[in-house]
Amino acid sequence: MTSSDPSPDYDPTQYDRPSVTVDLVLIGLAGGELSVLLKRRTAAPQEGRWALPGGFVRIDETLEEAANRVLREKIGLTGVSLEQLYTFGAIDRDPRMRIISVAYMALFDAASFARGMASGKNLGTASFAADGRVRDAAGTPLPLAFDHATILGVARERLRGKIDYSDIGFGLLPERFTLRHLQDVHEAILSVRLNKPAFRRRMLDRGWLVPTGEREPDASHRPAELFRYRGAPPTPTAPASAGRHA
């Protein structure tokens, strides 16, 4: 509770406590579609199924620290901005015991995403489209373990709700990118084709983009200019790590 006790001498240590975990939704962009990093389970339950990377929250670390530790230990990545997504507490979501899981989401550019995927065994990526299905590179639907398909659904909705007015889109891009790349990100998240001049105007008028003067290499046609993301304007009233939640 942290607030008020049922009775003054209520002793919570007598009661069974649930385990608390963090699950990570690690998202990248591959082939114009959203992609999520998954780990294949090698033990029961749900052996062979694909699952989100996760781990227990230790008694002496915060939720954010646990999420960052799991990201580092299991995927070998660090220094990423993790955003809390939602907390899942169904009774039987894990058959072994009562587990409450706090889901976190992080976005990666293609290079980091590939590096994370190559960091360990039984890691893979799956596309993660608007219809809620998760498919491997061949297009075969992938059954996910536990309630992880639900978690992915929440992540997709969160992205869709925030892409229009927040800066999350830049998390899926490398440091330098073209307006076309940025539009690809928005179109992948929204599953909609956007109007090019309008998108361009909107993004430039926002003042977040810094032209570098450099041009896109390896273009078979006229190369586009490369931009950098200036960084978010100071969020006026955002409580620490609150997340706006669409």
Q: Considering the complex, what minimum distance in angstroms separates the CB of residue 223 from DNA?
A: 5
Cα–Cα distances (Å) from 21 to 18, 101, 196, in that order, read 10, 5, 42
Nearer to a second copy (CB atom), residue 156 or residue 181? 156
Q: Considering the complex, what minimum distance in angstroms separates the CB of residue 244 from DNA?
A: 18
Piece of 2-10, 107-115, 171-179, 215-223 that binds a second copy (CB under 8 A): 2-10
Piece of 27-35, 90-98, 176-184, 216-224 that binds a second copy (CB under 8 A): 90-98
User: 3-state DSSP call for residue 27?
Assistant: strand
Nearer to a second copy (CB atom), residue 76 or residue 243? 243
- Cα–Cα distance measured from residue 68 to residue 73, given in angstroms and rounded to the nearest whole number: 9
Nearer to a second copy (CB atom), residue 30 or residue 85? 85
Which of 31, 78, 79, 97 is close enough to bind a second copy by CB under 8 A? Answer: 97
By CB under 8 A, residue 89 contacts a second copy: yes
Which among 191, 146, 171, 168 has a CA at the least distance from the CA of 245? 168
Which of 31, 43, 139, 140 is close enough to bind a second copy by CB under 8 A? Answer: 43
Q: Tokens representing 201?
A: 């105007």
Terminal Cα-to-Cα distance of the chain (whole angstroms): 27
Binding site for DNA (CB under 7 A): 178-180, 194-202, 205, 215, 219-225
Q: Tokens representing 94?
A: 């894990």
Alpha helix stretches (DSSP H) within 120-233: 148-162, 179-190, 196-206
Which of 72, 180, 202, 245 is close enough to bind a second copy by CB under 8 A? Answer: 245
Interacting partner of 180 out of DNA, a second copy, none (Cβ under 5 to 8 A depending on kind): DNA
By CB under 8 A, residue 14 contacts a second copy: no
- Cα–Cα distance measured from residue 216 to residue 214, given in angstroms and rounded to the nearest whole number: 7
Report how far Cα 5 is from the mean position of its chain's Cα atoms.
36
Which among 221, 215, 132 has a CA at the least distance from the CA of 178? 215
Which of 57, 82, 134, 172 is close enough to bind a second copy by CB under 8 A? Answer: 57
Nearer to a second copy (CB atom), residue 102 or residue 173? 102
Nearer to DNA (CB atom), residue 143 or residue 211? 211
Site string for a second copy, 122-161 (x = CB under 8 A): --------x-x------------xxxx-x--xx--xx--x
User: 3-state DSSP call for residue 79?
Assistant: coil
Cβ-in-10-Å burial (0-12, 13-18, 19+) of 97 comes to exposed
